[in-house]
Amino acid sequence: MNDAKDMRQSHLFTKTQKFAPKDEVSKNAQLLIRTGFVHKEMAGVYAFLPLGWRVMNKIMDIIREEMNALGAQEIQMTALQRKELWETTGRWDDAKVDVWFKTALKNGTPLGLGFTHEEAITAMVKPFVTSHRSLPFSAYQFQTKFRNETRAKSGIMRSREFIMKDLYSFSRDVIEHKAFYEKAQAAYERIFQRVGIGAQTYKTFASGGTFSKYSHEYQTVCDAGEDIIYVDEKRRIAINEEVYTDDVIADLGLVKEELVQKKAAEVGNIFSLGTKFSDALGLIFRDDDGENKSVVMGSYGIGPARLMGVVVELLSDERGLIWPQSIAPYQAHLINIGHNDEAEEFYILLRTAGIDVLWDDRKNVRPGEKFADADLIGCPWRVVLSDKTHEYGGVELTHRRTGEQTIVSIHGAITMIHQ
Ligand code: ATP
Ligand code: MG
């Protein structure tokens, strides 16, 4: 990721707070506000501060890598949406879609703030799709979605303005679509592994709409989740309560007695759309047999902030946040008690070794406060330079999650952090 040049804590404009905000009910938001990772603008609307935005960027970089590996092309669409476009599918109607934020131009022309982008991308790619040679392709974006969610009590896991990674695929037929859909599933599984929630995340069969029997959700077992799923631990799949019937259990070859009910949060959702949108918007191509056919589509969403919230819910402890190395704002938190010149030398050594390091260089802060801050912020490794470690010619290296502690040379620390 693109690193800021300066990672000295004395220059960080945010600070940790002793107490959680009283008006916030969700654990992830309480902790993230307390630690200065996010700012609550209003109920269900959060801004990301430097540390929180670093985590978001690391999550988005992982997702981006996996999307690019699928061959998907990154784009950036618009939040402002035309009423006429959404009327073609009937989704402008508030009776059908109850999360719209709508506004208007000065001359009265109604506009909507996009809550998803199927209609927009279908219309946008239309001029580029002519023959079967234009297909298949896929495109994705990281873009702010607006949803007037009725309940927004889950902190950054459900907000009214949030970044979504939305990917859309365009295929010539169902077989070609299925091949991409399979690859997208594998990419999703890699993303959840890499972010650190692979073990708790299940591919979940959910309602499919008109064109496929099921859609697939990725559900992470978590008390703060708003969904109920039924998990088959051995096969590592689950059924969403919304489609949980004897018929579906049998259809999936599962056994009711082996399924365990759990609370879970939907971190990702993949959907076969068939030709619903291409029919409505006339996205057709001339096939090699000379026939005009509708493009077969899929859509694939992930909420990076929901992922971040789930990680906080699952991994933090009474002392604060605990980040997996892959998405930590910094891999190491360097703390010095005196020995400023040596600390600066270590700071440079760590950075030269390619380690993201936050250096608590503050001179007027007590050691206890520095340690408490390091626990709150939750970088995977704490690197302490004090009189005691100086005597040994090294640093005290502590792993935030396991609490394991050793005194090693700075080079030994670098090796351990890289492992
Ligand atoms: P939910 O059922 O939780 O409301 P959804 O099915 O409406 O979500 P999608 O439209 O499929 O969500 O969105 C794709 C992904 O975007 C979700 O899997 C989730 O990770 C994320 N997401 C959805 N709504 C929100 C929100 N309000 N705040 C943050 N992330 C969200
Ligand atoms: Mg859903």
My answer on whether omega of the bond before 136 falls inside 30° of 0, hence cis, is yes
Q: Is the CB of 159 under 6 A from ligand 1?
A: yes
Across the range 378-405, mean pLDDT stands at 96
Cα separation, 160 vs 100, in Å, equals 10
Boundaries of every domain in the chain? 11-79+114-315, 330-418
- Residue 1's pLDDT is 43
The whole model's pTM is what? 0.97
**From 119, 156, 164, mutation site for ligand 1 pocket: most ligand atoms within 8 A of C-beta:** 164
State the ligand closest to the CA atom of 117: 1
Per-residue pLDDT at 19: 87
pLDDT 10s digits, 90-105? 999 999 999 999 999 9
Q: Ligand 1 mean position to 311 CA, how many Å?
A: 16
Please check whether residue 74 is in contact with residue 67, taking contact to mean a CB–CB distance below 8 angstroms. yes
| Amino acid letter for position 401 | R
Please give the backbone phi and psi of residue 394, each rounded to the nearest 5 degrees, phi first.
-150, -150
Percent of the chain with pLDDT over 70: 99
Q: Report residue 290's pLDDT band, with 50, 70 and 90 as the boundaries.
A: very high
Over residues 202-215, mean pLDDT: 89
Q: What is the pLDDT of residue 2?
A: 42
CA dihedral for 212, 286, 277, 265, sign (positive or negative): positive
- CATH number listed for the domain at residues 11-79+114-315: 3.30.930.10
Grade residue 3 by pLDDT with cuts at 50, 70 and 90: low
Strands 137-146, 161-171: pairing kind = antiparallel
DSSP string, 256-276: GGG-EEEEEEEEEEEEEEETH
Does residue 303 have its Cβ closer than 6 Å to ligand 1? yes
pLDDT (average), residues 99-126: 98
Alpha carbons 218 and 301: distance in angstroms, whole number: 10
Distance 219 CA to ligand 1 centre (A): 11
- Percentage of the chain beyond pLDDT 90 is 94
Q: What is the structure's pLDDT at 67?
A: 98
pLDDT band at 138 (very low <50, low <70, confident <90, very high): very high
Mean pLDDT, the chain, as a whole number? Answer: 96
Whole-number Å distance, alpha carbon 224 to ligand 2 midpoint, is 16
Token pair 């959910």 in the structure block, residue: 206
For 256-280, the pLDDT digits (tens) are 999 999 999 999 999 999 999 999 9
CB-based contacts of 209: which residues, under 8 Å, 6+ apart? Answer: 215, 271, 273, 276
The matching CATH number, chosen from 3.40.50.800, 3.40.50.300, 1.10.20.10, 3.30.70.20, for 330-418 is 3.40.50.800
Confidence check: pLDDT of 296 > 60: yes
Give pLDDT, residue 112.
98
Distance from the CA of 35 to the center of ligand 1, in angstroms?
A: 25
